[in-house]
Amino acid sequence: LPSGEQSSRLVISWRMNFLQNTMMKGMIESGVRQGLKDSFEQYASLLNQTVKPVDSKDIGSNKEQILASLQAEPQSDWKLAVQYFANFTVLSTFVMGLYVLVHLWLATPSPIHGLEFVGLDLPDSIGEVIVCGMLVLQAERVLGFISRFMQARMQKGSDHGVKAQGDGWLLTVALIEGSSIAAVDSSALSDPYVVFTCNGKTRTSSIKFQKTDPLWNEIFEFDAMEDPPSMLDVEVFDFDGPFDEATSLGHAEVNFVRNNISDLADVWVTLHGKLAQACQSKLHLRIFLDNTKGSNVAKEYISKMEKEVGKKINIRSPQTNSAFQKLFALPPEEFLINDFTCHLKRKMPLQGRLFLSARIIGFHANLFGQKTKFFFLWEDIEDIQVLSPTLASMGSPIVVMTLRRGRGMEARHGAKTQDEEGRLKFQFQSFVSFNVAHRTIMALWKARSLTPEQKVQLIEEESEARSLVTEESGSFLGLEDVSLSEVYCSVLPVPVSYPFLISFSNMH
């Protein structure tokens, strides 16, 4: 808690599974719901006599406290201007221009010579030509400095502090500071700024002039996303003016699937790239990912996939989702959508199960104790093709997934081949129900790879409503998915020091 005191959460829930239909189902559920609610209220009232409940506003306020403590570094335009323009180019141009002005003030007009005429005074010596040329070149560079400075001040971290809109997955990124940012200027300094990209949306930080260890303390919020994000792309650029191509100083990827979101609340991200690796550049970030839809997010996402696939998709039980997360070491917000028995085609076909979730596609096989397991993101897939059945595939069509270059390297042990461009190719065959598996794969891939405009166009092109038919895809790891209905659930936070909880402190 913000006060430093630890607390416990007492969760009471109840589920009922009817093995067969009965006309009394509604009456039974209603009676049990009311009875459990009354019993819990009596228990909570009794507990309140000894323990003071924790205010629900204090739970989860750690994020707000961390973000509220960040104070953006004040930036005075005059101070930045002095810091930015205090370099040899500007100072030498100023001195040279002042010298010429003083000379014009002291010198007397010279008579007209050669090709000169009234109003046009040409240089009379090689020295004057050199001085004029140097003044023109220096003035051009100074004007470039001024243009870059004005453009940079217009890009004054306009995305910082803008509140997110909508309901769904909310991503908040706090950019704290940078360390050992690569320098590309002759002054051994750079003008870095950071661009964050997630699900096609970008946020840009302010520009820090002449810094290699910049301090930002800026907060960026992404508008609510319908689909859970898989990756946050981070890239640092050196500002070279409005008309020049920005130089990349390093990039990084934050994978929300391979990292627990709680571990990203305070993290140093190492930048990649030739310049960044040479300088060992890093960024200090604090990342928070919240789901405002609560437990309904899985149900809504599966309902959307049902319309795309044209088949009824059963919501998996908590036990199945927990086993799925444990199998692939996934974060707790990941949920299983469907799984299919198939063969992974390598040198020899390997029978296993293909698991499909909102963000990943994974494969698991256990042949005489020899386990094969891997997964990659839907965004990693560049193309999906279906090959005609062959004798080697036992008369089954083959699904070929080609990953983008450099993607999915953790799963390369499951790839059939790797082409000349370094793209991995995975082949799956012998599906029990190929049509359902293929439609599900394509629907999930399109949902992650298409732009919002393409998704709207795809929905508008759906002319016929397809009926939903239940698909039996088998059980997962021996855990049966049963139809459960949650009748009542309540949470009562209590301090951890309460006597009856201490006895359970060493138990799991």
pLDDT per residue over 101-122, tens digit each? 787 777 776 777 666 666 666 6
Q: What is the pLDDT of residue 490?
A: 46
Same domain membership, residue 250 and residue 334? no
* Pairing state between β 398-403 and 381-387: antiparallel
Same domain membership, residue 206 and residue 136? no
Task: Please choose, from the candidates 176, 199, 332, the residue with its C-alpha nearest in 3D space to the C-alpha of residue 263.
Answer: 332
The tokens describing 429, both together, are 């065959």
> In which domain, by residue range, is 162 found?
156-291
Same domain membership, residue 492 and residue 467? no
Same domain membership, residue 170 and residue 124? no
Q: Are 344 and 427 in contact, with CB atoms under 8 Å apart?
A: yes
C-alpha span between 254 and 237 (Å, rounded): 18
CATH number, domain containing residue 249: 2.60.40.150
Q: Are 193 and 220 in contact, with CB atoms under 8 Å apart?
A: no
- ∠ CA 363-368-369 to the nearest 5 degrees? 70
C-alpha span between 15 and 33 (Å, rounded): 10
Same domain membership, residue 384 and residue 319? yes
- Ranking 60-69, 304-313, 368-377, 483-492 by mean pLDDT, the lowest is 483-492
Q: How confident is the model at residue 447 (pLDDT cuts 50, 70, 90)?
A: confident
pLDDT 10s digits, 68-87: 766 655 555 666 666 666 66
* Run of H or E including 92: helix 88-106
Same domain membership, residue 120 and residue 160? no
Same domain membership, residue 428 and residue 305? yes
Which residues fall within 8 angstroms of residue 368, CB to CB, at 6 or more apart? none
Q: What is the mean pLDDT of the chain?
A: 75
Tally the domains of the chain: 4
Between 148 and 174, residue with greater pLDDT: 174
Within a 13 Å sphere around the CA of 68, how many CA atoms are in the beta-carbon half?
5
Same domain membership, residue 105 and residue 18? no
Query: What order of strands is seen across the sheet that includes strand 169-179?
Result: 215-225, 169-179, 282-291, 267-270
Strands (E), 292-413: 336-344, 350-357, 360-367, 370-377, 381-387, 398-403
pTM as predicted: 0.65
Task: Please choose, from the candidates 209, 261, 192, 190, the residue with its C-alpha nearest in 3D space to the C-alpha of residue 232.
Answer: 261
